Structure 1
Amino acid sequence: MGVSVIIRIIVNAIALWAAVLLVDGVDIETTTTAGAIGVYLVVGVIFGLVNAVIKPIVKTVGCAFYVLTLGLIALVVNALLLLLTAWIAGLLGVPFTVSGFWPAFFGAIIIAVVSWLLSLFVGGRDD
């Protein structure tokens, strides 16, 4: 694994942590700090994989919707990708949950903003 991949995982984990802190309905269920860090890192990997694999396909297939909505559909797509991440985490037994569309919507906004801010400091994001 390259350094940029590790940086992206850590950035994703920190952004997810911010979403858990700020948005009711985006939660992890662990009692220890070490367990929480592990959950954030695992969910950061899942979130990164979902964004790397699914998001380009959705952007390509839904190009017309991006144009028609002036890119606002990206907010909905990001929310759905966060819900997909929570679903995959649940399948893998990772205690990360998103309780519905609106928590996913606001959580995805928090994640995008925090990721963008962190990428200003560490670099390496091409989104």
Structure 2
Amino acid sequence: MPIVRRLSLLPVIMLLFTLGCTEKSVEQVKEKPHVRGIIKDFEEERGQVLIENKEDGGVESGPIWISLSKNAELIIEGQTVTVSLDETLVGRSAEVWINGVIAQSYPPQTKAVKMVIH
């Protein structure tokens, strides 16, 4: 019977682990943005914007292509919108929170979980 008791605890442990991961994702969105800079280009076919990323202190760290994840939050001029990215955003500043995965291409590519356009 001890094995059965141990196995019955497994779902509870997995649930706690999953909840812990979910809370971390929400906390990440509350942190400062992962990418910040000016939108330099728009790729219509992939629905991506190219942002010239600037780190704290204004140091450029290179361009990065950003697309929106499925449930991403897009805020333009303080309003949450349901439109997709388009060419009208070129030249505007953006702050982006990502899911942590960046494709190793040049320029790199990632998906935003939240994007704020000013």
Give the structure-1-normalised TM-score: 0.28
Q: Which has the larger radius of gyration?
A: 2
Which is strand-richer, 1 or 2? 2
Ranked by relative contact order (alpha carbons within 8 Å, sequence separation 6 or more), the top structure is 1
Which is helix-richer, 1 or 2? 1
